[in-house]
Structure 1
Amino acid sequence: MGASQATDRCPGYSSCPAVYFPDVLAENADALAVRRANAVEKRNALLRFDEARPGAERKALLGAILVHDETLSVEKNQACASCHASYAGFSGPVALINKKTAANPGSVAMRAGLRKPMSLAYATYAPVLAYNNAASAFVGGNFWDMRATGLVTGSASADQAQAPFTSPFEMAMPDPACVVYRVARGAYRAKFEEVWSGNAFAVRWPAGTATACARPNSSADADPRALVLAAVDRKQAQATFKNIALSIAAYEASSDASPFSSKFDAVQAGKAKFTPAERAGFALFTGGRAKCSNCHTAAGKPVLFTNFQAFNIGTPRNPDIPYLSENRPDGFGYVANSDGGAFVDLGLGGFLASSAVVNSAWKAQAPFYKGAFRTPTLRNVDKRPRPAFAKSYAHNGYFPSLKALVHFYNTRGILDRCPDGLQRYGDTNGSKTVGYNCWPASEVPATVNWQFTGRLGLSDLEESQIVAFLRTLSDGYDPSSEAGE
C-alpha cells in the first residue's frame, strides 16, 4: 500500500502493517475468543475471591481480576491477558497476528510495539536485575530487554506489570493514577481494599478526571502525568498503583499462571514416561552437543528453563514488525518510531545506554549487550489452543516454528549468507531459500554470541527430537491422555 493511502487508512504509518488491526480485533475469531475469555476469567476470579482464604490466596485472585480487566486500558478494550492469554502459553493469542506481524496492537488499535509479547507465566521467578560478577553477566529483570528491573517495586514481575498500563503501544493510560481511578470505580473496589487497605482510593480526584483518563498517552515518558494531583493524593495513587502491580505479580506466582503441570513435570514425578523421541530430545537438550541447557537451564528445583541472562543469538531483523514503518504522527500526534526503517533493536544494550535508573558502571557495559535479549523460559513454548494455531519465536517473532528456531541455532554460521533483500523466513530467490540454505545477516552482528549457538552439527532428526521434547513443556498435561512408553 502506498504511503499516501497509509496516511488515510493507517495513521502513524508510512506503509500499512501486513494486517489491518481494527478489522482483526473486530472480526478475527481468535481476537473475539480472547475478549470472551477475559470476561469469563474476570467473572470466575470474582466468584472465587469470596471463597478463598484471606491473604496470599485472595491477593492472587485480585491479580487475576486485574489481569483480565479490559476497563484498565484507555479505550476499555484491552486487558493484560489480551496479549498474554493462558491458552497460548500466556503470549500472543491471535494466530493471524503471530503469523503476520508478531507484535500486537494496543488499546489504540493502530499502534503496535516492536516485539512479540513475552510470556508472563513463571515471570515472578526472575530476580531483581543485578550484575553477577561470577557469571560476568546481567541476571534478572523482565521484558525482553530486562528493563523491568525490580528496582521500582522490589519485584521484577511487578515492575513489568506496571509498564503496559501507560505504554502508548499497549493500554495507553495517560497517567498511572488513571489506572487507580478506574479500579476505584470498578465492581471489585471493596475486594481491593480488603486485600490492601481501606485507604487505597483515598485520593481527591480533580474535576474532569474521567475525561482526562480517556485520552491516550502519546508520550514516551515512563511516568506520564495527565492529572494534576496534590502531593498527598499523588503519593497515595502511586502506592495503590504499586499494589496493583504486586497483585498481578501474586497472580503470576500462583498455580493459575505457574502450575508446573507439564508432561515434563509428570515425568520428573514418575507419573509419566517420555516417548523415545522426547527422551532423545531431552538427552540432546541437556547434553553437550546441542548446548540448549547452557542458557535454558534444566537444573535446579524448580526447573525454569532459563538462566535469566541476555544474549545476542544473531536473530535476523524481522521486516514485518509494524514499528519499522510507524514513523508518522498518528491521530493523536504521536510518532512511535522517528527512525523508521533505519531502527535497530539494541535490546539490553539499548536499555542500559538510555535508562535513567541505570548507574554509570552498568551504562559502561551497554556496548557489549547491543542486540542481546533475555533468555525466556521454555515452559509453554509450544502451548496453543489448536494444532494449526500459528505461533512465532524469538524477541521479534522472526521464526514461524520451533523447528525453524532450532534449525537456526544448529546451522547459524554454516549456511550461506542470504543475498541482500532476501530477509523473510522461507523466501526464495534463485537457488537461495531463507532457512534452507542461507540465513540473513543478524540485526546486530557485532555482538553475536558464538559460544552457545551455531555450528552444532545436529541432524534433521535430532532437531526434530529436540522439538518433541520442547512440546512436553506445555502446562495442563493429563497423564491419562496417553499411554506413554
Structure 2
Amino acid sequence: MKKSYSFILSLAVLMGISGMGSVSAQEGIDEQKLIEVGKKLFFDVNLSVNKKQSCASCHDPAAGFTGPDPEINTAGAVEPGAIGERFGNRKPPSVTYTGESPNLSNDYYNEALGIETWAGGMFWDGRATGETLGDPLAEQAMGPFLNPLEMAMPDAQLVVQRVAKSEYAEEFEAVWGPRSLDWKKDPEGSYERIVRTIAAYERSPEVNPYTSKFDLFYDNARDAKKDIKLITTKGFGNSNRPKGVPLGQHWTDYRGLGLSDNELKGLAVFNDSQRMGADCASCHTFTEGSAGYPLFTDFGFYNLGIPKNPDNPFYDMPEKWNPDGEDWIDYGLGGYLKSSGWDAAVYEPEMGKHKTPSLRNIDQRPSPDFVKAFGHNGFFKSLDGMEGIVHFYAWRATMDDGGMGDGGMGGGMGPGGGMGDGGMTPNLSLFPPPEVDENRIAMKPFNFMMVGDYLVAFLQTLTDGYEPSE
C-alpha cells in the first residue's frame, strides 16, 4: 500500500485564522442565486484594502481568467497587488476548470508515466490543500484577500464587514440566511461562507461552459462511438489510413466530426506516447470530469525545467517579503512542504515541482495580438514560435535525451526519439538552464519543426465560445 502522510499544519494556521467555523452545505440554498452573489464578490474591488482590486483584476474572463495586462505578461507576468508597488512571486493561474481538484495528497499514481506524484490542492504549489474546508477551491479564495502582496486586507473580519455593507449584502443573506454576515460575532464562519460563495461562481457554467470546438468534436466522437484516446501518429504522413494501421488509430478515422485535418493531426501528436507523438495526454489527461468532458489535467505536480523569469518583480521586493532577493528560487510544492514543517525525506523529492494546469482556454485572449504568459512564472510569451512553450517542451526533451538535434529538428526517428540535426551542432543554449534542476521529469522528444504547428492548432480548439459556421 502507498503511504499517506497527515498534514501537520492546516491552511487556517498558515493564514493566521484560528477557530475557522465549519459551514457545511445547507439544504434549500438556491444554487443559481449563490452563483450570482459569488460573481458579485469576484468582481468587487471594495474587498481590497484600498478598494482598487478584485479577484477579476488578476483573473480576467477575456484572457481565460488569468493575467489581463499584455505589457505585464510580456515582462515579469506577475500582477501588482492592490498596493501597486507590491508583487507576488508567480503568474496568476487560471481559475477555469479547477473546481474538481481533490485535496492535496501524495498517493496519486500516474499510470501513463509510471510514477507516483502528489496531486490536488490549489495554487501553483498546492498550498490550498483542502484540509481546512474540504474544498481546495474555496480555500484558494481565502488567500488573496489577506495576502499583503495581493488584496492586502488586514483580517477576515474586515472582509466580512465590507461585504456586509455592500449593495448585494441582502442577496447574500437571502442565500445563506439571517446573520450570515455577522462580522462582529462570527467573522470566521461568515468569511467561510464568502469564500464558498466565490467557489460556487468559479464552478459555474459561466466560468466552465464547455463550449470549445473540441467539446463539439468530443460530442460527435462519442455519438459515433469513436474513442479519441486511441488516436496515434502511426502512418502520420498519409492522408488516408494506410494498410496495417488499426481502425481508430489514424487521424483520418476522425474526419467529419468537427476538427480540421491539422487539428486532428495535433490531437494525434498530443495523445501519442510513441513515434512522433508528444505524449501531452499523460499529464493533461482525457479523464472526464463531472460534466462528462476531459479536464486536460491530472492535478499532479512536475518539474519541467522551466527557466527563471529574470523580469519577475518579486526579486526586487523588500526583505520583509523576499529575504533572498535576486537569489530567490521558486521550489514550488517542495518549498511549500518544507515551510510547513515536513521532513526532508518528504519535501526534497518535490523541490521545483508545480501543479499541472488545465489546458482549457490556454489560448483564449481578447484580441489576436494580445500577449499571454505561459508557465508558472510566465517565462514563455507564446504557444508557438521558436521561443514558445511548445518548442521548449520539444527542446528540453531532446536535450535530456542526449542532445540529438536542437528540439526543433530532433525527435521521432532515432534512439530515444532523437533524429539528429543533419550535421548541425545541437543548440544547447536555446533556452536558459532550469531554475531547479533536480527532480525534473523526463519528457517525450518530438519533432517540433514537423508537428509543432499541428499541436498548437489542436490546443487552440480548447478555447470556449466556439460558434460553428453554418
Specify the TM-score bucket, using the shorter chain as the normaliser.
Answer: 0.7 to 0.9
Name the residue aligned to 1:257. Answer: 207
Q: 1:322 is aligned with what amino acid?
A: P
Name the residue aligned to 1:32. Answer: none
Q: Which moved more, 1:118-127 or 1:194-203?
A: 194-203
Name the residue aligned to 1:306. Answer: 297
Name the residue aligned to 2:432. Answer: 440
C-alpha distance in structure 1 between counterparts of 2:101 and 2:67, whole Å: 20
Name the residue aligned to 2:323. Answer: 338
Name the residue aligned to 2:49. Answer: 74
Q: Deviations over 1:238-272 (max 9, x none)?
A: 11111111111110111110111111001112296
Alignment of 1:110 with 2:90, yes or no, is no
Which one of 354, 365, 368 corresponds to residue 349 of structure 2? 368
Change (3 A) 1:59 1:352: same
Q: Give the match's secondary structure for 1:402.
A: coil
Q: Deviations over 1:105-154 (max 9, x none)?
A: 01001111111000001121111112226452211111100111111111
Q: CA deviation at 1:302?
A: 2.4
Name the residue aligned to 1:179. Answer: 159
Change (3 A) 1:310 1:260: same
Change (3 A) 1:270 1:110: same
Alignment of 1:471 with 2:463, yes or no, is no
C-alpha distance in structure 2 between counterparts of 1:476 and 1:305, whole Å: 18
Name the residue aligned to 1:56. Answer: 31
Name the residue aligned to 2:451. Answer: 462
C-alpha distance in structure 1 between counterparts of 2:130 and 2:281, whole Å: 25
Q: CA deviation at 1:440?
A: 1.3
Gaps of 5+ in 1: 1-52, 205-232, 329-334, 417-433
Name the residue aligned to 1:322. Answer: 313
Q: 1:147 is aligned with what amino acid?
A: R
Alignment of 1:268 with 2:218, yes or no, is yes
1:408·1:435 contact (CA, 8 Å) conserved in 2?
A: no
Q: CA deviation at 1:56?
A: 0.9
C-alpha distance in structure 2 between counterparts of 1:299 and 1:178, whole Å: 41
Number of equivalences: 370
Name the residue aligned to 1:6. Answer: none
Change (3 A) 1:92 1:436: farther
1:415·1:438 contact (CA, 8 Å) conserved in 2?
A: no
Q: Give the match's secondary structure for 1:138.
A: strand
Q: Deviations over 1:333-387 (max 9, x none)?
A: xx3211100100000000111126xxx57x6321001000000000000000000
Name the residue aligned to 2:282. Answer: 294
2:182·2:190 contact (CA, 8 Å) conserved in 1?
A: no
Report runs of 4+ in structure 1 exceeding 4 Å deviation: 434-437
Q: Give the match's secondary structure for 1:446.
A: coil
Q: Give the match's secondary structure for 1:364.
A: helix
2:391·2:448 contact (CA, 8 Å) conserved in 1?
A: no
Gaps of 5+ in 2: 1-27, 111-115, 222-256, 401-425
2:53·2:81 contact (CA, 8 Å) conserved in 1?
A: yes
Q: 1:445 is aligned with what amino acid?
A: D
C-alpha distance in structure 1 between counterparts of 2:381 and 2:427, whole Å: 11
Written as runs of structure 1 = structure 2, the 5 A alignment for 1:26-425 is 55-132=30-107, 134-135=109-110, 136-204=116-184, 233=185, 236-270=186-220, 273-288=258-273, 289-300=277-288, 301-328=292-319, 335-355=320-340, 360=342, 364-403=345-384, 404-412=388-396, 414=398
Q: CA deviation at 1:436?
A: 9.1
Change (3 A) 1:386 1:81: same
Q: Which moved more, 1:375-384 or 1:191-200?
A: 191-200
Name the residue aligned to 2:406. Answer: none
Q: 2:190 is aligned with what amino acid?
A: T
Change (3 A) 1:185 1:479: same
C-alpha distance in structure 2 between counterparts of 1:474 and 1:127, whole Å: 24
2:108·2:119 contact (CA, 8 Å) conserved in 1?
A: no
Change (3 A) 1:413 1:477: closer
TM-score by length of 1: 0.73
Q: CA deviation at 1:200?
A: 1.5
Structure number with higher helix proportion: 1
Q: Give the match's secondary structure for 2:220.
A: coil
1:104·1:117 contact (CA, 8 Å) conserved in 2?
A: yes
Q: Which moved more, 1:341-350 or 1:149-158?
A: 149-158
1:415·1:439 contact (CA, 8 Å) conserved in 2?
A: no
Change (3 A) 1:413 1:276: closer
Q: Deviations over 1:7-57 (max 9, x none)?
A: xxxxxxxxxxxxxxxxxxxxxxxxxxxxxxxxxxxxxxxxxxxxxx96111
Q: Give the match's secondary structure for 2:336.
A: helix
C-alpha distance in structure 2 between counterparts of 1:435 and 1:467, whole Å: 23
Q: 1:318 is aligned with what amino acid?
A: N
Q: Deviations over 1:156-214 (max 9, x none)?
A: 1001011000111111101011100100111111111111121123343xxxxxxxxxx
Change (3 A) 1:101 1:195: same
C-alpha distance in structure 2 between counterparts of 1:280 and 1:267, whole Å: 14
Q: CA deviation at 1:435?
A: 8.7
